[in-house]
Amino acid sequence: MIHYDEKICVKCLACVSEAEFGGVTYKRGQIFFDKTNLSEDWANIASICPVAALKYVKEDFSAHKSKISP
């Protein structure tokens, strides 16, 4: 899961260039992230942001599992 803080972003577009599968796009002065795009290397995209406006948080699917009592 990628988290984007628009207030920090300086619109350098490095993340747009880094996205190889169209997961990050720039339209009308705004950056859009297609979080459903699982082909992108989101950890890598987050790591290249020069101002840390992007944060990558690994999904923890185990938290969603319901506990079943014996």
Print the binding letters for residues 26-55 with ligand SF4: x by CB under 6 A, - otherwise. -----x-----------------xxx-xx-
- Cβ neighbours around 46 below 10 Å, total: 19
1 binds ligand SF4 (CB under 6 A): no
Give me the phi and psi of 2, to 5 degrees please: -105, 135
Give the shortest CB-23-to-ligand SF4 separation in angstroms.
12
Tokens of 58: 């690994």
Of 31, 26, 27, the closest CA to residue 6 belongs to 31
- Interaction between residue 10 and ligand SF4 (CB under 6 A): yes
Q: Which residues bind ligand SF4 (CB under 6 A)?
A: 9-15, 31, 49-51, 53-54
